[in-house]
């Protein structure tokens, strides 16, 4: 990972300014404008049939997709904190509670940036940048949820092709993805060291994508994938054969932190909406904010969000210096996703019956917050990662 975050100015961590830097704050403005203008007005449409091609094209017009693609390939060449900035805005936007992972799957682009062949980059980078290629990570299986490296999907060489058999489930953007990075066992006897990443494109014979209806993220296009004797060229291998596990290491912290960034964004927006509500809502002749209990609850939320952001910012510094540990990203995933849920729960209580209605932003954000403690490694797995250290 060394050298991948060179555009980040470490001095920003020593001030009250954004730790992301001015360039990334300009990027944030673009992402926020995209959600405000393009996604929020259409969230009901997405609940019915998921995010459509038109909204992906709009995301491309705003310069949101493929931010880490190098300038040599026509991309912005942004540092990888663009992933966290986009995730934070995805959480901050109430419509993000409907859109699901949506643009968050852009983290998949890093696999091509880091490990893709020249031919793969030349083929897919232009499509990613234009919004014509929706990506998905085909990792989770029904029998290997948090233990992704226990995947049963296999890929066997047959001449100049891979023959893939298996299934994947709970895949973000899986029902519409044009490009899926499928985690396969290519050397089962090597267990986790025998996994490879192979590209499977939409429409490949034997490849079926099915939309799943979820509790939250109604427009998130969560999908189930079936691969029955799917044949793809050997050249669809991304990175070294049997090297997928090591490929995930540099992106694992980023994946957890983008979930955490989303939690921070959602908690902040929910607090802001609820504070405004309490300042304006009248009950028994008084504003809701005039009740001491209301102020106590709001003060506790604001304090927790501020402390949580300080912890998050400290980890950004470590990511920039390539010193973040698996334990630290696990702690962030545990604490900040739980913080989001507590915050949203308190906000529902302060809004009362309004927030029980499905069309209310706090209601949608509350429901969406529940899955954050499962995504990218469930809370229990994160605690186990930490706990194993105590046995040494």
Among 206, 223, 242, the domain boundary falls at 242
Split at pLDDT 50, 70, 90, the class of 377 is confident
As a whole number of Å, the CA-based R_g of the chain is 21
**Based on the number of CB atoms within 10 Å of its own CB, is 374 exposed (0-12), middle (13-18) or buried (19 or more)?**
middle
Same domain, 25 and 144: no
Instruction: Round to whole Å and give the CA distance between 321 and 71.
Output: 23
CATH number of the domain that residue 308 is part of? 1.20.140.10
CATH number of the domain that residue 194 is part of? 2.40.110.10
Same domain, 237 and 155: yes
- Domains: count for the chain: 3
This prediction's pTM: 0.90
pLDDT for position 75: 95
Residue 4 domain-assigned? no
Q: Which of 14-23, 107-116, 377-386 has the lowest mean pLDDT?
A: 14-23
pLDDT for position 376: 82
Same domain, 20 and 114: yes
Find the domain containing 27 and state its range: 10-133
Residue 2 domain-assigned? no
Average confidence score pLDDT of the chain = 91
pLDDT by residue (tens digit) across 242-293? 999 888 877 777 888 999 999 999 999 999 999 999 999 998 889 999 999 9
pLDDT for position 149: 67
List b or e across 239-256, with b for residues whose CB sees 16 or more CB atoms inside 10 angstroms.
bebbbbbebbeebbbbbb
pLDDT by residue (tens digit) across 171-191? 999 999 999 999 999 999 888
pLDDT for position 34: 97
Split at pLDDT 50, 70, 90, the class of 49 is confident
Most confident of 3-7, 56-60, 248-252: 56-60
Give the 3-state DSSP-derived string for 104-158, with helices as H, strands as E and coil as C: HHHHHHHHHHHHCCHHHHHHHHHHHHHCCCCEEEECCECCECCCHHHCCCEEEEE
Q: Is 14's pLDDT higher than 50? A: no
Residue 171 domain-assigned? yes
Residue 378 domain-assigned? yes
């Amino acid at each position: 990972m060394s050298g991948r975050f060179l555009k980040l100015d470490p001095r920003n961590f020593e001030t009250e300014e954004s730790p992301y830097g001015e360039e990334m704050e300009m990027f944030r403005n673009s992402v926020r404008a995209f959600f405000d203008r393009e996604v929020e007005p259409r969230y009901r449409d997405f609940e019915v049939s998921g995010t459509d091609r038109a909204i992906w094209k709009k995301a491309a017009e705003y310069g949101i997709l493929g931010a880490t693609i190098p300038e040599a390939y026509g991309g912005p060449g942004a540092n990888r904190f663009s992933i966290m900035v986009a995730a934070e805005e995805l959480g901050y936007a109430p419509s993000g509670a409907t859109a699901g992972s949506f643009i968050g799957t852009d983290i998949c682009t890093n696999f091509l940036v880091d490990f893709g062949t020249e031919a793969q980059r030349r083929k897919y980078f232009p499509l990613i940048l234009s919004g014509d290629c929706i990506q998905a990570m085909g990792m989770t299986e029904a029998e290997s949820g948090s233990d992704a490296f226990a995947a049963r999907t296999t890929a066997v060489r047959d001449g100049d092709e891979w023959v893939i058999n298996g299934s994947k489930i709970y895949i973000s953007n899986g029902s519409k993805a044009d490009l899926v990075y499928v985690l396969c066992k290519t050397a089962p006897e090597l267990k986790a060291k025998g996994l490879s990443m192979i590209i499977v494109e939409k429409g490949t014979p034997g490849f079926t994508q099915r939309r799943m209806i979820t509790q939250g993220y109604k427009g998130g296009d969560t999908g189930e994938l079936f691969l029955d004797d799917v044949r793809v060229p050997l050249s669809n291998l991304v990175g070294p054969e049997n090297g997928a596990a090591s490929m995930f290491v540099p992106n694992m912290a980023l994946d957890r932190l983008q979930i955490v960034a989303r939690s921070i964004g959602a908690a902040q927006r929910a607090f802001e909406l609820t504070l405004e509500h309490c300042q304006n809502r009248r009950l028994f002749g008084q504003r809701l904010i005039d009740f001491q209990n209301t102020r106590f609850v709001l003060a506790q939320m604001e304090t927790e969000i501020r402390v949580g952001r300080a912890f998050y910012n400290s980890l950004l510094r470590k990511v920039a210096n390539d010193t973040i540990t698996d334990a630290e990203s696990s702690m962030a995933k545990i604490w900040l996703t739980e913080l989001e849920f507590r915050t949203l729960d308190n906000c529902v209580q302060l809004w009362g019956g309004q927030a029980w209605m499905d069309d209310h932003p706090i209601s949608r954000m509350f429901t969406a917050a529940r899955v954050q403690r499962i995504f990218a490694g469930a809370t229990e797995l994160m605690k186990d990662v930490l706990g194993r250290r105590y046995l040494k």
